[in-house]
Structure 1
């Protein structure tokens, strides 16, 4: 959750040719040092402001907390006239233009958050209209308009369509639906990575298993969004079988994730030139995917691992990380108010990174201590390592991409 793809990984993928360089406009100028008080987190929001705000609002709504009105208004104010959203607009009063780096991921995330909160039909309708206008002929979506379809972007848009009551399978372009696009990225059983989803085909058209893309696609293939769903137990062990429909492809993806988690109890991320390290964000996304597919019991060990190890990563990464944990824990049936068994309240930690919610409970009160927590927990780096985020920004800027892809579109395997 899925929090969107690291700049480091994206840059490396583009430089090595693993992913085609997206067709993107230059990013808006860097925001001023004084960030909006209605925004969650204190890290530079240039590349993820709308994404992390959307996740924060979704997580609060999921657990019955009413977000601050100012936080919701900030999100709606980020929309461009054509319905799209950029990751961050420092001056919402200035009209979007050809240089505004709008994208499908931030737009779809905003739709899901605003649809869940209710009362924003005009905003979400315009956003969905824009998303439909940039659908690819294979039925899917790329991160930026005109970019090749990928599993993560297609899945987050499916979630947006479902959130506003539309049938994703009926959103067709070139005779193809988004489910067709996901099926095309599903790796057949029996081979390397069988059951998993690829992020995109490589330059030779081959598919390589990608755990992050798989977690996103399992949820998307089931017609769900960033909050996933607490499904009834599947009643069978996760197993791969020939996929002729999106539901079977989702079950195959769940089987792959179950196997991937079994080794260490969590997923790993591999950076070029670095040793493998725990991938907290992808692990949370995998838990949510398994729970949504009816395998919450199979995800329990990974959720417990997160409960024992998440603190440093989440504090560094900020509101999107806390939101990911809340959504995964809620879908898997864990107590978000006592996450690690020691009384640790994830909701309170999330609330402390932004404006105090309107819910009248103790955890929604932003005390002086909580305000200090916000100062310490403002980052939004999926890896939880600030230096990698900084390096990634320069890598991306150096190759002319001009934006960071959301954590729901990380291209690591």
Structure 2
């Protein structure tokens, strides 16, 4: 596990990297045996962009122009000591970021003269920049996604979440897709349309980031290897938050499930959610539904006698505080009453001080665990690059500074906009 000095050194290196300069942003890796290279492309979030990003991601993880078959690409990545390569669409409010993420063993860890930064980055840039547009590959990738989608939708919890967001964004359907975009767009995609989409990505704002022991050399290789016009554009975005809807929706659907899925969406009604308010929202998540000792889980279990699951999330970029529970269909109305009552209690200052302190401590402990993972620092680079004001934020400090008044002020800006139940 990394000690405090290790973490401080890495974060200081991240702070020292100017996020206003052109990419790449490679921070020095002194603590991990693996390095990472990430190439990210930013675009507006639309149903079309998400569907095609999901399809292109799957195609590029399967094959590329340089390695045109599934086996060929798998062999070359395995030859790089099982380099881990993933292409991941990520949602940040009204923005979509398509990230190509490669994790690989630092060359200094292996006594192999043929395994070096030059070869690794050459192979990665070839795969990322030169997709294969082959009908068989397209059909295979589409089938993978449609099979995954059907499997996801077989779960009542996933189906309920998908339905919830479709209602939440009924007036803005581009934001309504919670998984891989409209499945019909994926099914109807052809070679010409996916090729045009991939070509257009070269003009979208792009970012090179990562971690490496020889950060200057890797930066030089990556800068030389990637040839995207979008690298010359600013990657950051001024406004990513989607306002909460004004409508109030209360809907129940019956499918005869043994377990009901309850989703209660509280809109955050202000111009934007500040980072201080995001910290308060995170503490409220932990306070209400962080674990089995949290306020809602114990309350529902004590008063109703059963709760399969109780969870909460603060979707800051969506202006949404979401609480969901899986329980007996006959207990839904009683659970809704308890959830609303607990939100009102926080608004009125009725906060369990011991549970509040425990919630803050749990968040700090979870962060310590995350700081022992390379992915934490890669995510920090992306957030600091995407959100202009995030570069000056110490989120751990904001959690420490969060008070019960912070929770009161935060909940006073919440109002119930949607209650959705799938039975």
Normalising by the residue count of structure 1, what TM-score does the alignment of the two structures yield? 0.25
Higher helix share: 2
Structure with higher RCO (Cα < 8 A, 6+ apart): 1
- Highest CA radius of gyration, 1 or 2? 2
Higher strand share: 2
